[in-house]
Amino acid sequence: MELSCLLIHLNRLTGPTGLWTKRLLRRLAQNREAARKSRLRKKAYVQQLESSKLKLASLEQELQKARQQGIFISSSGDQTHAMSGNGAMTFDLEYTRWLEEQNKQINELRTAVNAHASDSDLRLIVDGIMAHYDEIFKLKGAAAKADVFHMLSGMWKTPAERCFLWLGGFRSSELLKLLVNQLEPLTEQQLMGLSSLEQSSHQAEDALSQGMEALQQSLAETLAGSLGPSGSSGNVANYMGQMAMAMGKLGTLENFLRQADNLRQQTLHQMQRILTIRQAARALLAIHDYFSRLRALSSLWLARPRE
């Protein structure tokens, strides 16, 4: 009797609806689910590896291409890639070529002036030099889209030139002041024209300078607003929003540089229209000689003996 009861009890535990059977089925289901998730994780890991391999191969190709083009990629934190798509370095090379060509044009102009060439011959050379100036402004505009900070800082220029830098170039009003004494004698109408041009250039420069100051102040306030009470970044969403606003404001730097270069370009052309062709030739020679002396001063300064 006791044996019969025991067998009945065991049958209840191990039967289709028994406790052990339920536990076993549940454990098997859990194992199958764990195995399925493991296969999914393995598949995702393999896909990630394949994607990483493709990205690495692409980066290696880009690096090899950059090396073939002579692009130096810095390992410092300030340069995460080749100068913002190597636009700055490309401009530096183009500027060197531009300067070499300008030197040739100026030498040709100087020879023509000294030889008392005809007005028509001088005009051809002067127009060529003015077109050459237009080219550098076009190159600067394209380079600013790649690295506006490089263009604003004037890093392609010599240290002495950078001392007089204003928004990535020369101040038109200051250049006009230097030229007036070099172009005498001038008619009263020419003096009035140059004076008016200098005044309007100065006003435009002041407006752009004030705009830059306002931008810097606004940018500083935006960045300060993203700091928490302890000086650390606060809420992540707020932080990202503040940084997005700061990025948007930095985007206006290119516009300031473009307006400054437009002012320089327009001033040169308006100056040419005020002057006679021979005066314009002398003005271009004076401008070139001024910047040439600044570059020479930089070379002498860098080569000075140091105690």
Q: What is the pLDDT along the chain (307 residues), one digit of tens a residue?
A: 555 555 455 565 555 555 556 666 677 777 777 778 777 776 776 676 566 566 556 655 655 554 454 443 333 344 434 445 477 889 999 999 999 999 999 999 999 999 999 999 999 999 999 999 999 999 999 999 999 999 999 999 999 999 999 999 999 999 999 998 889 899 999 999 999 999 999 999 999 999 999 999 999 988 887 565 544 545 777 778 888 888 888 889 999 999 999 999 999 999 999 999 999 999 999 999 999 999 999 999 988 888 7
At 58 the pLDDT is 62
- Considering its fold, how many domains does the chain have in total? 1
Q: Is residue 35 part of a domain?
A: no
Do you know the residue count of the chain? 307
Q: Is residue 285 part of a domain?
A: yes
**What is the identity of the amino acid at 60?**
E
Q: Is residue 307 part of a domain?
A: no
Kindly give, in sequence order, each residue whose CB lies less than 8 Å from that of residue 213, ignoring residues fewer than 6 positions away: none
At 31 the pLDDT is 76
The answer to whether residues 144 and 254 touch, using CB atoms and an 8 Å cutoff, is yes
Q: Is residue 125 part of a domain?
A: yes
State if pTM tops 0.95: no
Q: Is residue 63 part of a domain?
A: no
At 260 the pLDDT is 97
Q: How far apart are CA 100 and CA 70, in angstroms?
A: 20
Candidates 274, 277, 122; CA nearest to 187 is: 274
At 26 the pLDDT is 73
Q: How far apart are CA 67 and CA 82, in angstroms?
A: 10
Q: What is the DSSP string of 176-238?
A: HHHHHTTS-S--HHHHHHHHHHHHHHHHHHHHHHHHHHHHHHHHHHHHHHTB-TTSSB--HHH
At 81 the pLDDT is 43
Q: Which domain holds residue 170?
A: 87-302
Q: Is residue 38 part of a domain?
A: no
At 254 the pLDDT is 93
Q: Is residue 33 part of a domain?
A: no
Q: Is residue 43 part of a domain?
A: no
33, containing H or E segment: helix 19-68
